[in-house]
Amino acid sequence: MLLELSGISKHFGGIMAVKDIGFGVKEGSILALIGPNGAGKTTLFNIITGTLLPETGSVTINGRELVGLKPYEIASAGITRTFQNLQLFGSMTVLENVMAGAYLRSKKGFLRSFFSFPGTCREEKRIREESLILLEEIGLAETAGLPATQLPFGKQRLLEIARALASKPALVLLDEPAAGLNPSETEALTDYLKKLKTKGTAMILIEHDMQTVMEAADRIVVLNFGQIIAEGTPAEIQAHPEVIKAYLGEDEKIA
């Protein structure tokens, strides 16, 4: 198992955000984390990436404990993420945003890239070429020289995903990646996620677009009021009575 969560609990004051959460993610697989608003999905993302500390429990990647590590240490261990609210470098170009993500695995580092240290130019060229390839794959190559803020919202969402992938992480956490995308962009994103999976990239997906979830995910974990109420394949989750009740409040099948 690539990533494992065990016994994760977190309170905010008197509110239980998540309680005794445990699940695993295999290499080259997509796990969808779904549930009503306030179910605890983003809290789990923040715990995995080190911006929140759980009160109990363990998070490991390839057996290495992550709880207590700084966010940059967790990123260096192979986990990157996108955010529900876009967090791009607005003063930089589309290409520069992706290159910034790639510097995480750079031997020279982000700051050294601005100076003429030996080897920096060669590595800068490699990062630039790889970033352009990534933009081509995600459909943004023609916008490479534009300021990131000039892109429509949907394309900014894709750019944030490209930046998260630029460091070639073992696991990417995607927080509502289809939000703001039109139907054709959503379809292209779903196809791209499935393509990434075949290359060995694992993903945890928070998404309210159920068609994307059902088409892309290998397994689904369903949260409600901070607790897991179901886990299984898309087919199993579609027909699960507790999931149907949590979403619809009646006996209908989730589309």
For the chain, give every domain's residue range. 1-78+170-255, 90-168
CA 244 to chain centre: 25
Condensed to tens digits (0 to 9), the pLDDT of residues 32-64 reads 999 998 999 999 999 999 999 999 999 999 999
Q: Where are the beta strands (DSSP E) in the chain?
A: 3-12, 15-25, 30-34, 56-61, 64-65, 79-81, 171-175, 202-206, 219-224, 227-232
Whole-structure pTM value: 0.87
pLDDT band at 244 (very low <50, low <70, confident <90, very high): confident
d(CA 116, CA 216): 43
More confident residue, 87 or 135: 135
d(CA 221, CA 25): 11
Under a CB-based contact definition with an 8 Å cutoff, are residues 45 and 39 in contact?
no
| The one-letter amino acid at 32 | A
* pLDDT in the model for residue 112: 52
The answer on pLDDT for 186 being more than 60 is yes
The tally of CA atoms less than 13 A away on the side-chain side of residue 253 is: 7
CA 246 to chain centre: 24
More confident residue, 250 or 184: 184
Average pLDDT over residues 206-227: 95
* pLDDT in the model for residue 7: 98
pLDDT band at 67 (very low <50, low <70, confident <90, very high): very high
- 42's enclosing H/E stretch is helix 41-48
Q: Which of 128, 59, 117, 64 is nearest to 94 (CA)?
A: 128
Condensed to tens digits (0 to 9), the pLDDT of residues 144-162 reads 999 999 999 889 999 999 9
Calculate what percentage of the chain has a pLDDT beyond 90: 72
Q: Which of 137, 72, 129 is nearest to 104 (CA)?
A: 72
1-78+170-255: CATH class: alpha beta
